[in-house]
Amino acid sequence: MNPVSAALLIWYKNNKRNLPWREISDPYRIWISEVILQQTRVNQGVVYYKSFVEQWPDVNQLASASEQEVLKMWQGLGYYSRARNMLVAAQEIVNKYNGVFPRSAGELKKLRGIGDYTAAAISSIAFDEPVAVIDGNVFRVLSRLFNEETPIDSSAAKTTFRMMADSVLDKHNPGEFNQAIMEFGALHCVPKKPDCQTCPLQGSCLAFALKKVDQLPVKKNRIKIRKRFLHYFIFLQKEQQQCYTLLRYRGSGDVWQGLYDFPCIESDRILSIAELDHEQLFTAIKAVATEIIPIPDIRKHILTHQHLTAKFYVVKCKKGFEHLKNNSLSLVSQTELGKYPLPRLIDQFLQENENLFDNC
Ligand code: SF4
């Protein structure tokens, strides 16, 4: 075993966090944990992981879930395509592989949504296949160890870092090693101010020797951010002692595909009521509204590629707004609202305005 691998494995033994997906070899649970961890920090990931495997303890049970149930469970994690892909992949495993996970990274990558990283994590940790994982933490550790200046978001990075990762991988213990190098990047060789003085890899680290730790890894592109301005309308109507609202289903091609939010007018900035008056939806709203109440706060919500600014209005209605229903708009009672998967922006707004429906 090379000295870097040996030092990493010792460090891991002494420092690893006690997490529910450690010390297991169930490929289903490893898969669920890896996909969740691509979306969130470990503390929050543990909560989602436990709920997920409690609801669907194996791949057969996940495969029989509905998309709405899976998206509801995923609510708040973002990148909802990952959740939809997990459901399709579970169905593929059941239908094409009789419910048995493929054992090699090459075969796992044929499943929907499983890329190089997830395939390597599952096959190495569950089946001891000697393939190296490369996630953001591994990129950072390797770029520093080898003083590698190839930008990690360039097309050349894949080959360059794969060679380096393979050179340090402990092929006799690939699952443990892969977890060790990821954990080391997450806890010790962190992006800012890593603790180089106590680092067990210091003697092998070229970035440390060359005083270049804070310059690595190199990134080429900055993410292009799209700014969006949303005006949401929360319809309220009382019918037979129940309060109803309208929810809009987000269709394919949308960042929130499969989720529900409220009817919305989108523009290039936040508009005044007078400016909204020129919008077709607003004309339809006025036709059924008895009162339109602006919520004073303007909310900001940041996604990886989008910055959202949202203004909410409560629309108190006369009887009979259900004629606004169409393929994408559904009439939903207050008591059923919790069953619908919502973007975090909407969910947080509702949680912070729990008395909203008192206006009904
Ligand atoms: S010496 Fe510093 S930069 Fe190098 S591997 Fe250790 S913590 Fe990371």
Dist CA 132 CA 158 (whole Å): 12
| Amino acid identity, position 99 | G
In a domain, 18, yes or no: yes
Task: Give the three-class secondary structure for 280.
Answer: helix
Asked if 28 contacts 101 with a C-beta cutoff of 8 angstroms, the reply is yes
Which atom of ligand 1 lies at the shortest distance from residue 188's CA? 7
For residues 185 and 196, the answer to whether their CB atoms sit within 8 Å is no
Question: For residue 56, what are the domain limits?
Answer: 3-215
* CA distance linking residue 42 with residue 213, whole number of Å: 25
Report if residue 292 sits inside a domain: yes
Report which of 166, 115, 148 is spatially closest to residue 219, judged by C-alpha positions: 148
pLDDT class of 204 with cuts at 50, 70, 90: very high
Looking at the structure, tell me whether residues 256 and 179 fall in a common domain. no
Per-residue pLDDT, 128: 97
Cβ–Cβ contacts within 10 Å for residue 60, how many?
A: 15
Residue 196 and residue 203: Cα distance in Å, rounded? 10
Compute the distance between CA of residue 137 and CA of residue 189 in angstroms, rounded to an integer. 8
Atom of ligand 1 nearest to the CA of 196: 2
Asked whether the beta carbons of 178 and 127 are under 8 A apart, the reply is no
For ligand 1, say whether the CB of 65 is within 6 Å of any of its atoms.
Answer: no
Mutate to test the pocket of ligand 1, among 205, 212, 214 (most ligand atoms within 8 A of CB): 205
| Residue 22 is assigned to a structural domain of this protein | yes
Q: Once rounded to an integer, what is the mean pLDDT over residues 203-228? A: 92
Q: Which residue has the tokens 């203004």?
A: 311
> Is pLDDT at 33 greater than 70 in this prediction?
yes
Percent of the chain topping pLDDT 70 = 98
132 lines ligand 1 (CB under 6 A): no
Question: Which is more confidently placed, 6 or 254?
Answer: 6
CATH number for 7: 1.10.340.30
> Buried b vs exposed e over 84-99: b needs ≥16 C-beta within 10 Å?
bbbbebbbbbbeeeee
The predicted pLDDT at position 304 comes to 81
- pLDDT score for 253: 79
Look at 355 and 30; give whichever has higher pLDDT: 30
> Tokens representing 108?
């796992």
Measured distance CA(321)–CA(307) in Å, rounded: 32
With respect to residue 132, please indicate whether it lies within any of the assigned structural domains: yes
Answer yes or no: is the C-beta of 144 below 6 A from any ligand 1 atom.
Answer: yes
- Reading phi first (left if > 0) and then psi (alpha if -120 to 50, else beta), residue 161 is in alpha
| 200 CA: nearest ligand 1 atom | 6
Which of 154, 188, 215 is the last residue before a domain boundary?
215
244 and 129 share a domain? no
Residues 109 and 231 in one domain: no
Query: Considering the domain boundaries, does residue 139 fall inside one?
Result: yes
Amino acid occupying residue 53: V
Please report whether residue 302 resides in a domain.
yes
State mean pLDDT over 153-177: 95
Question: At a CB cut-off of 8 Å and minimum separation 6, what does 348 contact?
Answer: 299
Shared domain for 172 and 232, answered yes or no, is no
> CA distances (Å), 157 to each of 153, 207, 315, in order?
7, 18, 52
Question: Containing H/E element for 230?
Answer: strand 226-239
pLDDT of residue 92: 98
What does each C-alpha distance from 352 to 325, 336, 346, 347, 348 come to in angstroms? Answer: 27, 18, 10, 9, 6
pLDDT band at 319 (very low <50, low <70, confident <90, very high): low
Mean pLDDT computed over every residue of the chain: 93
Is residue 220 a part of any domain in this protein? Answer: no
Token pair 């509204």 in the structure block, residue = 289
Task: Examine the domain organization and report whether 50 and 110 are in the same domain.
Answer: yes
- Residue-wise pLDDT tens digits, 84-101: 999 999 999 999 999 999
Report which of residues 321 and 270 the model is more confident about: 270
Structure tokens at 130: 């000697």
251 & 114 share domain = no
User: What's the rounded mean pLDDT across residues 63-87?
Assistant: 95
Domain count, the chain: 2
Rounded mean pLDDT of 49-67? Answer: 98
236 and 162 housed in the same domain: no
Look at 119-123, 178-182, 199-203, 273-277 and tell me which has the smallest mean pLDDT.
273-277
CA–centroid distance, 193 to ligand 1, in Å, is 10
Question: How far apart, in whole angstroms, are the C-alpha atoms of residue 21 and residue 2?
Answer: 27
Residues 131 and 253 in one domain: no
CA 182 to ligand 1 centroid distance, Å? 13
pLDDT: which is higher, 2 or 107: 107
Q: Output the CA 32–ligand 1 centroid distance in Å.
A: 30
- The DSSP code for 225 is P
Among 182, 215, 248, the domain boundary falls at 215
The residues that are catalytic are 34
Quick one: average pLDDT of 165-172? 95
pLDDT tens digits along 227-266: 999 999 999 998 888 899 999 999 887 888 999 999 999 9
Over residues 288-302, the pLDDT tens digits come to: 899 999 999 999 999
Average confidence (pLDDT) over 206-234: 92
* Last residue of one domain, picked from the residues 215, 242, 266: 215
Residue type, 318: K
First to last CA, the chain: 69
Q: Do residues 7 and 119 both lie within one domain?
A: yes
Q: Tell me the whole-structure pTM to 2 decimals.
A: 0.83
31 lies in the same domain as 74 = yes
> Are residues 247 and 208 part of one domain?
no
**What CATH number does the domain containing 311 carry?**
3.90.79.10
pLDDT at residue 221 tops 80: no
180 and 254 part of one domain: no
In a domain, 221, yes or no: no
Mean pLDDT of 315-328: 76
- Name residue 223's beta-bridge partners: none
**Interatomic CA distance for residues 185 and 135, integer angstroms:** 10
Pocket test for ligand 1, best of 10, 144, 182, 193 (most atoms within 8 A of CB): 144
